[in-house]
Chain A
């Protein structure tokens, strides 16, 4: 049977196993929408803004490990997808964005809803395609999924001019058994010589640290990471993107590192003699001043992307390969090695870390100390959420103080449970991402922890949640200000709160949620918090928006001292350096 370009596209998506397409129709995409109407394999989720479509597809991907798919029309539809593409690009998320384009003969004529999607998206995609012949659509889709999901994953754009999906033009559907691109062969297996060198170095360490990032999660290598540390017994820290890659409950886990990392994790990095970086990229939010970074450490760096190695911090032993394959090889080599770990040195090192934790570790008793105060501490909200969900929820977040509080106080024991925009820091990500997660895992608890600033950037998706019956729980940590901006203004700008407050003009979030057909709850007192959360989570089939008013003066600590600080230089509370 011969198919139109639109039908070819849908057939190709079906063959890639796509279950959901998050999208928004428009002129240039209408042939495709007609093809969507005629099939059943992929469910289309109509969002309320294309940014929501990209974040929802992204959230779906982060939670499932499968690529997410978004479909937008040309022009404004395409430009609205840009923030979502950049978000996925920074965090290496396999996202496929299909954009309608004006008809081929109109390209370049400034026609209605025309924009150069390939040009605009070029710096923020792993690759992009423009369809020149409709018959190529199946192959392009196959290549797009292959590129998006292999090597270092990333977003791929497929731009389809309207005439290439013309229902009157029919073609044979052909799907290749295997995809092989002569210009793209990502490395899978690590170099055995490097593994040998790394094993030798690691086993001779006295103060090792495992610094594991989002690559462990993307590469599905969390089990191998745990196995490695069963042998090494080294302290482990995860990046913001890596939380859940190593179980937070494990005694060797030090918490997150970096800008708002724990005291013990940052101190351990600074004082380490060997840093084993796994699927992490020495982001500027980790290293603080690169020239002052971990002065005595040798660096073993495992990454799929050679460009991430020695980009910021020089690696002494670079290992290019898939994280999973590299860890398997490393474990094998370590088991085979005759070098004995210096367990006395390691015991001392782990003891030192415990002492650091005792001294300035995260204040987990905050709940007790604040219970008498009338104001709710935002950290306590996260702690209560952790208890209310038994630590098992998928938690999405937006960007700012609330995001850091979740990273610090919600203990993720499994990968793919913590869904946040770490690299780009995209406000508005949390709610649509939660929709993608909830569609993938309808029986699991999905919570969006947000702030009154972030949530208003994609609040329109509350309507999508009603249409598709997505009973997400939204915890709005409401401090009536752009909290992180204000924190910086408190610390660096003499407390001048320039354009960071809007207390008089905030909406009534309870009524807002209700007007979208959901349940709204408001919490202003510590004493109501626990009960309200219990009540909300008991409403299994309803989206509940819980607006929690918190102490507006709370800051996120620890915080690295910058500029000109190393990882050991931290603010541990207001006006106090460690």
Chain B
């Protein structure tokens, strides 16, 4: 089962490597990874998606919690949550691709005789479906942000 794990961590050199390394050390895979500074900039929030059983995820979150730089860990998938992913895509002129991307809250950033650059966002499952239907023809490249997410309602990752 797909899991979305949110991590609040010190924004310090090497902190990210400790989390990423841990997944490998403990035999788990990272599917997507997103990180950026939050609050006053001395914290970072990471969102990692992975696959595993209930027990696996319990072990992962406990092990992440043990990293000294980690402040909070939460498995978003354990309750109701919002989850989105942002992509950027570059392709040769193609009505088909433009239409697909447009349908995902798409926006055109560059359009000339050679290429079109667009951005889009949606749930990662919508993104997956879109990427599949885009296919390989005329596609030049895609950059994905990886999932980011928040708990529903009042629940937050507090400092």
Contact = CB atoms under 8 A, between A and B. Distances in A.
A306 B68 contact: no
Nearest to B64: A307
A490 B106 CA distance: 68
Contact of B59 (A127, A184, A307): A307
A310 B58 contact: yes
Nearest to B25: A123
Interface in B104-159: 159
Interface string B67-84: 011110000000000000
Nearest to B159: A182
Contacts of B159: 182
A130 B14 contact: yes
A122 interface: yes
Given A118-B14, A130-B14, A306-B62, A123 B21 contact: yes
Contacts of B25: 123
Contact of A305 (B21, B55, B66): B66
A181 B70 CA distance: 11
B10 interface: yes
Nearest to A132: B13
B21 A183 contact: no
Nearest to A314: B55
Contacts of A119: 17
Contacts of A310: 55, 58
B65 interface: yes
B96 interface: no
Nearest to A306: B62
A122 B17 contact: yes
Contact of A311 (B9, B17, B22, B59): B59
Interface in A272-319: 305-307, 310-311
Contacts of A122: 14, 17-18, 21
B63 interface: yes
Interface in B31-73: 55, 58-59, 62-63, 65-66, 68-71
A181 B68 contact: yes
A307 B68 contact: no
Consensus secondary structure, chain A interface: mixed
A309 to B, nearest CB: 8
B63 A183 contact: no
Give the interface size bracket for A toward B.
10 to 19
Contacts of A305: 66
A32 B10 CA distance: 29
Contacts of A198: none
Contacts of B14: 118, 122, 128, 130
Nearest to B17: A122
Interface in A80-111: none
Interface residues of B, number: 21
A138 B66 CA distance: 24
Contacts of A181: 68
A417 interface: no
Contacts of A183: 9-10, 68-71
Contacts of A147: 68
Most chain B beta-carbon contacts within 10 A, residue among A118, A126, A147, A183: A183
Most chain B beta-carbon contacts within 10 A, residue among A126, A128, A184: A184
Nearest to B10: A183
Given A130-B14, A182-B71, A307 B66 contact: yes
Interface in A131-185: 147, 152, 181-184
Contacts of A128: 14
Given A123-B25, A306-B62, A184 B18 contact: no
Nearest to A122: B21
Contacts of A123: 21-22, 25
B26 to A, nearest CB: 10
A306 B71 contact: no
A129 to B, nearest CB: 9
Most chain B beta-carbon contacts within 10 A, residue among A127, A130, A147: A127
A307 B62 contact: yes
A130 B13 contact: yes
A478 B69 CA distance: 47
Contacts of B68: 126-127, 147, 181, 183-184
Contacts of A307: 59, 62-63, 65-66
B45 to A, nearest CB: 13
A183 B11 CA distance: 11
Contacts of A126: 68
Nearest to B42: A182
A119 to B, nearest CB: 7
A305 B66 CA distance: 8
Interface in A475-498: none
A112 B7 CA distance: 38
A152 B66 CA distance: 10
A130 B10 CA distance: 15
A123 B13 CA distance: 16
B88 to A, nearest CB: 30
Report the 9 A-B pairs with minimum CB-CB distance, sorted nearest first: A307-B62, A127-B68, A183-B71, A123-B25, A184-B68, A307-B63, A306-B62, A183-B10, A183-B69
23 contacts: A118-B14, A119-B17, A122-B17, A123-B21, A123-B25, A126-B68, A127-B68, A127-B69, A128-B14, A130-B14, A147-B68, A181-B68, A183-B10, A183-B68, A183-B69, A184-B68, A305-B66, A306-B65, A307-B62, A307-B63, A310-B55, A310-B58, A311-B59
Given A127-B68, A310-B58, 18 more contacts: A119-B17, A122-B14, A122-B17, A122-B18, A122-B21, A123-B22, A127-B69, A128-B14, A130-B14, A147-B68, A181-B68, A182-B159, A183-B10, A183-B69, A183-B71, A184-B68, A306-B65, A311-B59
